[in-house]
Amino acid sequence: MRTDKYTDTILDGLLERRTVLLTGDIDEGVIHEVRRRLLVLQMRSNDPITFLIDSIGGCPAASLHLCDLMTTLMSAPIRGIAIGDCKSAATFIMLHCAQRIGTPHSRYLIHSGSKKVTISINHSTTEQVEQLLRDSKRTEETVQRLYMNKLTPKAWEDTAPTPEERRAFVEQLLRRGDQRFDYTMSATEALEVGLIQEIVEHKLDIFHS
């Protein structure tokens, strides 16, 4: 994430404003840097933290490691704001924020992750292929469970959906996201399915003096 002096200036300036930026592809290196910045802010105080998200996703495991940190170690409330893309594994992180906000032209993608798995048959043993398939299935189940537990669709505001209804709703979203051409949701659609809680139309307070 730290690539040049201008990037450093931006990231450090945001840190002084209790704001962390997640951008680009998610991998262990990116999550390590984000985790470090979140912990610095947590050690300073329990004041709210703003998390700016502009990512097409990446490694599910790395994203879930950050989610564990947010839910088990941190006590400062985190406000997640999608300022561009919030797709795939980036949605896991958004769903673990206490406040979930989208900008008007932000874009979202929910899918199972199964279509991202590539198996090289020529140099793989049967056991390796079977293990890859088991890992893929385990990832799908983890993703489905996370969305079932974290999404807050507007249709559920006045009802108490059964586990079966929650599962059917999430499965429909995952199927739509898994089609050949990714189904990208608008901010309005993300609000309807409960990925975000509001669409911001005003100036945010990050750079207020």
Give per-residue pLDDT as tens, 100-121: 999 999 999 999 876 554 545 5
Give pLDDT, residue 81. Answer: 98
- DSSP character at residue 182: -
Q: What angle do CA 101, 191, 73 make, to 5 degrees?
A: 45
Query: β-strand 99-102 against 19-26: which pairing, if any?
Result: unpaired
Give pLDDT, residue 171. Answer: 92
Q: Whose CA is closest to 182, among 191, 192, 173?
A: 173
Query: β-strand 49-58 against 19-26: which pairing, if any?
Result: parallel
Give pLDDT, residue 131. Answer: 61
Indicate which CATH number applies to the domain containing 108: 3.90.226.10
pTM for the model: 0.87
Residue 138 is assigned to a structural domain of this protein? yes
Instruction: Give me the number of domains the chain comprises.
Output: 1
Residue 190 is assigned to a structural domain of this protein? yes
Q: pLDDT over 90 for what percent of the chain?
A: 69
Give per-residue pLDDT as tens, 29-75: 999 999 999 999 999 999 999 999 999 999 999 999 999 999 999 99
Residue 209 is assigned to a structural domain of this protein? no
Residue 208 is assigned to a structural domain of this protein? no
Residue 207 is assigned to a structural domain of this protein? no
Q: Whose CA is closest to 110, among 56, 158, 65?
A: 56
Contact 55, 90 (CB under 8 A): yes
Give pLDDT, residue 125. Answer: 63
Nearest-angstrom CA–CA distance, 116 and 64: 17
Give per-residue pLDDT as tens, 120-132: 556 656 665 566 5
- The pLDDT-based confidence of 183 (bands split at 50, 70, 90) is confident
Give pLDDT, residue 196. Answer: 98
Residue 206 is assigned to a structural domain of this protein? no
Nearest-angstrom CA–CA distance, 35 and 47: 17
Parent domain of 98:
5-199
- The pLDDT-based confidence of 140 (bands split at 50, 70, 90) is confident
C-alpha atoms less than 13 angstroms from C-alpha of 20 in its C-beta half-sphere:
25
SS3 32: helix
Nearest-angstrom CA–CA distance, 22 and 80: 10
